[in-house]
């Protein structure tokens, strides 16, 4: 289907916070994210050219690339694409590999999702351009397939060995709800969040670059652990299928580091399933305790926390109205998420900010969020 000249579209793409199920989406386990009411917005004019001209307002950066030379990852002047442009270029690359017809465009975007904070600013960027091209092309593909195509872009084009959690959540968000996703089967359902609670994001202001961090190392360690366990359990397809009891009796098969990684994954999967039961039973206290246990596991077994993140969680857990807290996202910096009673939000934020700054000499960025709807695009006149 050809695109009419200069179609004017606008897209909104939210960030996401993961409430439980960290580092299990690439291990076939269940996750519990929610899209949040911070978003990336794109204003685009699509045309019949094969050129994509992009302006990242927040970064004060521009680039241009051709849809016909994406494998080279070069701009129109033959220079390497800036890092941020690999995400929309990767999405174009993935969509065209799927056989979908894309339009050229001139687009500007801005975002209030902190970059590198563990709130999926990269997935929001990918999905925004995916829904733009889908709206322009009118393709009849599901949101889950679109999430998979964005995941392919991030894995094979950008070079990050991530799972589908981020792209799924950004596309499937529902106001007032978390999303329970079995990453092995891709079955999912919405889970209502307690109406008297708020999601508090605390940005440690410590940044990391995932593609150059230990993220891919953790991915490979989990793969190694799975391969060893498959020698005894040949029908085992992923670590997410293992139970804590199974791992306990098989622990001697794994070297210490690989056992630590596998323990986190297997126990985190179990925590996530129990967390859904707690939410559906209207028990935020039980849910919050599982958040705290999840953070301890990420700190001690998966070793992706930082002193700053630990401080945020430790302080939050002592404050009135806080049900639970944990790091969210890949770790190595970024944010924590806390579930807090609505009546205590203002005092919680003020005291967490004060104590964190006193302990670290870093001024955090703390804000209240709510679960929001997923990405969308619409035509403008």
Q: Which residues contact 71 (CB under 8 A, 6 or more apart)?
A: 93
Distance from C-alpha of 337 to C-alpha of 287, rounded to nearest angstrom? 13
Q: Which one from 166, 182, 203, 270 is the annotated catalytic residue?
A: 166
Please report the sign of the dihedral spanned by the C-alpha atoms of residue 246, residue 299, residue 372, residue 107.
Answer: negative
3-class SS letters over the chain: CCCCCCEEEEEEEEEEEEEECCCCHHHCCEEEEEEEEEEEEEEEEEECCCEEEEEECCCCEEEEEECCCHHHCECCCCCECCHHHHHHHHHHHHHHHCCCCCCEEEEEEEECCCCCCCCCHHHHHHHHHHHHHHHHHCCCCCHHHHHHHHHHHHHHHHCCCCCCHHHHHHHHCCCCEEEEEECCCCCEEEEECCCCEEEEEEECCCCCCHHHCCHHHHHHHHHHHHHHHHCCCCCCCCHHHCCHHHHHHHHHHCCHHHHHHHHHHHHHHHHHHHHHHHHHCCCHHHHHHHHHHHHHHHHHCCCCCCHHHHHHHHHHCCCCCEEEEEEECCCCCCEEEEEEEHHHHHHHHHHHHHHHHHHHCCCCEEEEECECCCCEEEECC
Whether 310 is catalytic is no
Residue 267: how many other CB atoms lie within 10 Å: 19
**Residue 349 to residues 35, 292, 322, 361, 364, Cα–Cα distance (Å):** 21, 18, 11, 17, 10
**Residues known to be catalytic:** 166
């Amino acid at each position: 289907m050809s695109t009419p000249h200069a179609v004017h579209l606008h897209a909104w793409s939210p960030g996401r916070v993961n409430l439980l199920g960290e580092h299990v989406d690439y291990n076939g386990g269940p996750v519990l994210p929610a899209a949040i009411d911070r978003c990336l917005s794109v204003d685009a004019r699509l045309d019949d050219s094969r050129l994509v001209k992009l302006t990242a307002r927040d970064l004060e950066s521009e680039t241009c690339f051709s849809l016909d030379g994406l494998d080279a990852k070069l701009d129109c002047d033959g220079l390497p694409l800036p890092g941020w442009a690999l995400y929309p270029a990767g999405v174009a690359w993935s969509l065209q590999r799927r056989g979908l017809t894309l339009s050229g465009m001139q687009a500007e975007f801005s975002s209030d999702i902190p970059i590198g904070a563990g709130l999926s600013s990269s997935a929001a960027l990918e999905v925004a351009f995916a829904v733009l091209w889908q709206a322009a092309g009118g393709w009849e593909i599901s949101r889950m397939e679109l999430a998979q195509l964005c995941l392919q872009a991030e894995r094979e084009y950008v070079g990050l060995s991530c799972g589908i959690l981020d792209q799924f959540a950004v596309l499937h968000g529902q106001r007032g709800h978390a999303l329970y996703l079995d990453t092995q089967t891709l079955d999912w359902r919405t889970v209502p969040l307690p109406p008297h609670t708020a999601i508090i994001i605390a940005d440690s202001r410590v940044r990391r670059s995932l593609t150059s961090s230990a993220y891919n190392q953790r991915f490979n360690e989990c793969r190694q652990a799975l391969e060893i366990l498959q020698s005894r359990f040949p029908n085992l397809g992923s670590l997410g299928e293992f139970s804590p009891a199974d791992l306990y009796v098989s622990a001697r098969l794994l070297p210490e580091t690989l056992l630590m990684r596998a323990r986190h994954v297997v126990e985190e999967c179990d925590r996530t399933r129990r967390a859904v039961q707690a939410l559906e039973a209207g028990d935020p206290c039980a849910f919050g305790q599982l958040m705290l246990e999840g953070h301890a596991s990420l700190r001690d077994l998966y070793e992706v926390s930082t002193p700053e993140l630990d401080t945020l969680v430790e302080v939050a857990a002592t404050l009135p109205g806080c049900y639970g807290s944990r790091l969210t996202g890949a770790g190595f910096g970024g944010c924590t998420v806390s579930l807090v009673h609505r009546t205590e939000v203002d005092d919680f934020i003020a005291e967490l900010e004060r104590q964190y700054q006193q302990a670290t000499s870093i001024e955090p960025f703390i804000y209240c969020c709510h679960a929001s709807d997923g990405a969308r695009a619409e035509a403008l006149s």
